[in-house]
Structure 1
Amino acid sequence: MSASRLPVAIERFLLSPISLLLVVAVAFVLNAWSLPLTDVDEGAFSEATREMMARGNLVSPTLNDAPRHDKPILIYWAQAASVSLLGVSEIGFRLPSIVFAVLWMLALYRFCLRHADRRTAQVAALVMGLSLAVGFIAKAAISDALLNLFIALSMFGIYDVFCADRDGKPTRRLLFYTYAMLGLGFLTKGPVAVFFPLVVSGLFFISAGAWRSWLRAIFFWPGWLLFLAIVVPWHVAVFLDQGDAFFRGFYLKHNVNRYANTFEGHGGKWYYYLVVAPFVLMPFFGWLLAVGGKVLRQIRRSPLGTVRGDGLFERFLVLWFIVVFAFFSSSGTQLPHYLLYGCTPVFILLALYRPEFERRWLAYLPLILFALLLAALPEILAVAASKTSKPFEKFLLDGLALAFSDSARWLLPLFAVAAVVFAVWRSLPVWQGLVLAGLLQALVVSAVIAPRAISVTQGPIREAAQVARAAGGTVVAWRIIMPSFSVYRQAATPTRVPVEGELVLTRTDRQPEVQALLAPGLQMRNLYQKSFVTLARVEREMRP
């Protein structure tokens, strides 16, 4: 094949269903069945599901036998259904997120088909699947893929209601559908799943001069009845099971207080998402920089939109992103994946305004810098390991430096070389090169970085749990929060000072601290020790 025809073949591939299947396989599925569960989140969700099934209580999740009020029930039910089929395993807990991410991609594709065209739908789905943060949550046993699915479906329903009402078509079915998605989103993560659709829809309908339509939709009482029919039964059941503990723990602590205060040192800075956004959207952040001004000018200056002829489609998408970005930028607690609630419209905008040959270096610069950072990662880890003096950090960094001292030293620089090649390949349209780079990035993360990093940070936990399970007896933890240990041991692990005959899981650097807390005449005998993890049995000292 001649060099001049290669971009045509690339475009044909990228616009085919095969490319989407490849994205799902690499970004969502690869190694999801084998990598250890990560802590804290994956371990916490998985152990709560396992305990819920073990106790036969499908109403009130617990974590290490203590009530867990972090999230409503829907994700636990989904994981329980998966585990009942696949068993207590990594893929058993992660499969729901993979499925929900695929459904999110499919919903995005169908929405773009309705309001744009097939090429835009295809590119939007590719961009979504290959964005760095989406790849992380798609194969993680947490609630975020499910929440993003329902937020997206709710927002898509809102825009469909707007278009149907403007065109004089019936909206009753669409309203029922939208309220159902709001209800399911509420059962996934509570008020946030309703807050954003209500605020964005209000701003959008009012800005479009359709405030009466918005009021009709908001006061559509059959829709609220459907919403309540979805949400209320479980809330009644959890109240009957444990009183108002969930309502105080979830709605007050994990919603009101989490927004007002910084939890667990997560963020609290107005500029947090300006720093985080490039990594969340990598390798497409430069693409956003290249077309962002054009999108805003289109909305502000031109009476003609790219899709429906009036710019309202773009306005809806931009408002969706801005509301999410502004809300979490002012929040006391900030985490990178929160920004994803507002990234679905970004994926669509990038597809609508996909650059061909313009502003090439601006589009590629963030990717090249990121790829160079990854290329230097083995050396960065080695230097950091040599300079730290804290025992816990020393254990981790030494392990990571060793893990990345193998073939990663030349595999990661190859990704940087590929990024530069795509940038200088001037006959290759910008959007195509960035999507190809996204495929390589997903492969590098799933097959090179994640296996090495997770084997160091989580491998010892899984191995220690297997030793503890074989040894039997009571196991407790001391000043180490690794709920995946309980998943692999298939038993809850309370946190307290151990007594004679019990096993204790602790950090290696905290072993002397545990010894000092033991009753006189007791000592710790290590059953397993690797990196930062120690599992020991508390025994009576042998006297000569």
Structure 2
Amino acid sequence: MQRINRSTWIVLLAALLLPLVSMIIVPLYDTSEPRYAEIARIMAQSGDWITPWFSPELPFWGKPPLSFWAQALSMKLFGFTEFAARFPSWLCLILSNAILLAGLRLLHGLRIALLATIVYSTCLLVYISSGAVLTDPFLALGTTLSLISFAVVIHESGQRIEITGNLVGKSIGVGPARGSVWWQYGFFLGLAVGLLAKGPLAAVLSLAPIAVWYLLNRRRSSLVSALPWLKGLALVAAISLPWYIVAELKTPGFLDYFIVGEHFRRFLDPGWKGDLYGTAHKQAYGTIWLYWLQASFPWGTMLLATLVGAFVSTRLRAAVRIASTTSLFYYWLAGAVVTPLFFTFSANILWTYVLPSLAGFSVLTAILADHIYRQLGLSKRGFLITAGVVPVAVLVLSAVVWVNPDLRNTERELIRYASQDGDFSIPLVYLSKTPFSAQFYSAGKAREIQPSELGSAIKCSAPFYLAIPKERQSTVENMTGKPLIVLYSNKRYVLVKVSPLSNCSAQAIAKQQPISLQSQHLPNNADSIIVN
């Protein structure tokens, strides 16, 4: 694997571009993606760039606004589509890869830099999240920038870590080199990005690998002089602190819920019931490692197989031992494991939480792969084939979804059917609760109606579309006194058209519905959006 040829660059380019296909053809599936997309849509339409709104009457205190800012701007540029909502996450992938290439080229050379970007881009979670409406890609962008920036600063200031067995290597000089100024402040810029993407957790995940570096290197003066801490922290505060202050002033209670609730109670209280926007995800302690294995597939599986193989193969064991002497090897190891370690004893977790660990893991894997392939004289063909597993699998699944978009829970096709004329001249209501995907695809026009209100709505003369959960279809038929003619059906709902018998206004159908978007000071043309 000493030479870098065209095929290696082609694999990386394909890994970066193929997510665009899925971003265009795969609908938003409930609940996470359309929920965040709807928050961004409301922000774009309302012009409220301070407070994200979970619904027009409920502020969203669960996350800082960086991802919503990017998604809302993308929607203003590209329209209210799946691609527009997902595009900022893809940009995070591109920027993260640019950071990895630029930094690792200085640290380990172009070959390892290129291998690391291929590993990173083709990890299952990285690949999926690069084409999804999530906040985590922005956190990963910030932590990756901080992780790489600190390593470059230490390298360029002469701080070399060479670990052989239990021997911690030597320090050559103190103080940053002139060329590392951008990387010095890049570290703090990464912290600011993380604080605006996910909150204080970003600082913990960014500083922990540095703490490991310090414990191994044991040179406090080197750590203090490597970065402009006072100016850098002032930069972090200048970028991130104003929003936190303004957000609390605009919607009092935000800081208590976000700092205390989301950062302590969520993880320490199993089944935390204080979540305002969903349900806590209670898992057994240690489940994060299973998530890490899934998120890093196929490379995590390959790495474990390599380590197991090193116990029985002398040549493989020697290659792993030599790789472990590489400069900053244990810094990358800390970057790979600190996040799952942090969440090992957390009660409420998701697999997306391990995303920040995959940058360090990718560098570690690239170093090991390079040494193993060179020591054993292997072809890189197996490496490139492994890199194609996730992109090919996702592309095939995307094609299946393109043929059958209602394979999972989404309301895109139902909304399109109900708005065939490009408008909702006939109101659309969902029985009991409107799914997030229906809210997004209808631009907030789909309403909900409770079973207790349905009887009076049926008596009105204005026709309306009614989306009924399939298990409640017979109940509605009993209320109407006649069989329902199903116009459209997806995985969860059947769509019928109700033509009531007696007279009442069309507004009576939705009089109990949530506050309209107009009450949130939307522009006058907010209701003119056509569902694509």
Provide the C-alpha distance between the structure 1 equivalents of 2:27 and 2:150, rounded to a whole number of angstroms. 39
Letter in 2 for 1:130: T
Evaluate the alpha carbon distance shift between residue 476 and residue 207 of structure 1 in structure 2; reply closer, same or farther with a 3 A threshold. Answer: farther
1:165-205 deviation per Cα after TM superposition (whole angstroms, max 9, x unaligned): 53434376544332222112110111111111122212321
Instruction: Report the TM-score when normalising by structure 1.
Output: 0.74
Matched, 1:253 2:261: yes
1:27-57 deviation per Cα after TM superposition (whole angstroms, max 9, x unaligned): x222311211122111011111111121121
Provide the C-alpha distance between the structure 2 equivalents of 1:160 and 1:94, rounded to a whole number of angstroms. 31
Matched, 1:486 2:439: yes
Matched, 1:193 2:202: yes
CA RMSD, aligned part only?
A: 3.7
Identical residues among aligned pairs (%): 21
Q: Shift of residue 525 of structure 1?
A: 7.3
Query: Aligned to 2:233, which of 209, 220, 224?
Result: 224
Where 1:187 maps in the other structure, the secondary structure is helix
Partner residue of 1:444? 393
233-242 or 259-268, which moves further after superposition?
259-268
Partner residue of 2:530? none
Partner residue of 2:15? 23
Evaluate the alpha carbon distance shift between residue 490 and residue 60 of structure 1 in structure 2; reply closer, same or farther with a 3 A threshold. Answer: same
Provide the C-alpha distance between the structure 1 equivalents of 2:121 and 2:348, rounded to a whole number of angstroms. 26
Flag structure 2 segments of 5+ consecutive residues without an equivalent: 160-172, 273-278, 504-532
Evaluate the alpha carbon distance shift between residue 96 and residue 64 of structure 1 in structure 2; reply closer, same or farther with a 3 A threshold. Answer: same
Q: Shift of residue 336 of structure 1?
A: 1.4
Contact 1:103 1:149 in 2 (8 A): yes
Matches within 5 A, 1:88-487: 88-165=80-157, 166=159, 167-170=173-176, 174-215=183-224, 220-244=229-253, 246-260=254-268, 261-262=270-271, 264=279, 266-292=281-307, 313-354=328-369, 429=379, 432-448=381-397, 451-452=400-401, 455-458=405-408, 461-469=411-419, 470-472=423-425, 475-478=428-431, 482-487=435-440
Provide the C-alpha distance between the structure 2 equivalents of 1:19 and 1:52, rounded to a whole number of angstroms. 37
Evaluate the alpha carbon distance shift between residue 468 and residue 197 of structure 1 in structure 2; reply closer, same or farther with a 3 A threshold. Answer: same
Evaluate the alpha carbon distance shift between residue 120 and residue 266 of structure 1 in structure 2; reply closer, same or farther with a 3 A threshold. Answer: same
Provide the C-alpha distance between the structure 2 equivalents of 1:481 and 1:312, rounded to a whole number of angstroms. 54
Contact 2:285 2:344 in 1 (8 A): yes
Contact 1:37 1:43 in 2 (8 A): yes
Contact 1:305 1:313 in 2 (8 A): no
1:95-132 deviation per Cα after TM superposition (whole angstroms, max 9, x unaligned): 11111111111211222111101111111111111111
Matched, 1:34 2:41: no
Provide the C-alpha distance between the structure 2 equivalents of 1:474 and 1:100, rounded to a whole number of angstroms. 38
Instruction: Report the TM-score when normalising by structure 2.
Output: 0.76
Contact 2:64 2:198 in 1 (8 A): yes
Letter in 1 for 2:221: R
Query: Aligned to 2:46, which of 55, 72, 76?
Result: 55
Contact 1:305 1:314 in 2 (8 A): no
Contact 1:273 1:336 in 2 (8 A): yes
Structure holding more helix per residue: 1
Matched, 1:85 2:77: yes
Contact 1:478 1:504 in 2 (8 A): yes
Provide the C-alpha distance between the structure 2 equivalents of 1:255 and 1:535, rounded to a whole number of angstroms. 41
Where 2:293 maps in the other structure, the secondary structure is helix
Contact 1:124 1:351 in 2 (8 A): yes
Partner residue of 2:509? none
Flag structure 1 segments of 5+ consecutive residues without an equivalent: 1-6, 359-425
Provide the C-alpha distance between the structure 1 equivalents of 2:355 and 2:224, rounded to a whole number of angstroms. 28
Letter in 2 for 1:534: V
Contact 1:526 1:535 in 2 (8 A): yes
Partner residue of 2:36? 45
Evaluate the alpha carbon distance shift between residue 294 and residue 193 of structure 1 in structure 2; reply closer, same or farther with a 3 A threshold. Answer: farther
Contact 1:200 1:319 in 2 (8 A): yes
Partner residue of 1:12? 5
Letter in 2 for 1:168: V
347-356 or 72-81, which moves further after superposition?
347-356
Matched, 1:67 2:29: no
Evaluate the alpha carbon distance shift between residue 494 and residue 119 of structure 1 in structure 2; reply closer, same or farther with a 3 A threshold. Answer: same
Query: Aligned to 2:469, which of 504, 507, 512?
Result: 507
Letter in 1 for 2:256: R
Provide the C-alpha distance between the structure 2 equivalents of 1:317 and 1:181, rounded to a whole number of angstroms. 17
Contact 2:143 2:206 in 1 (8 A): yes
Provide the C-alpha distance between the structure 2 equivalents of 1:54 and 1:482, rounded to a whole number of angstroms. 19
Provide the C-alpha distance between the structure 2 equivalents of 1:357 and 1:225, rounded to a whole number of angstroms. 44
Q: Shift of residue 354 of structure 1?
A: 0.7
Partner residue of 1:368? none
Contact 2:174 2:225 in 1 (8 A): no
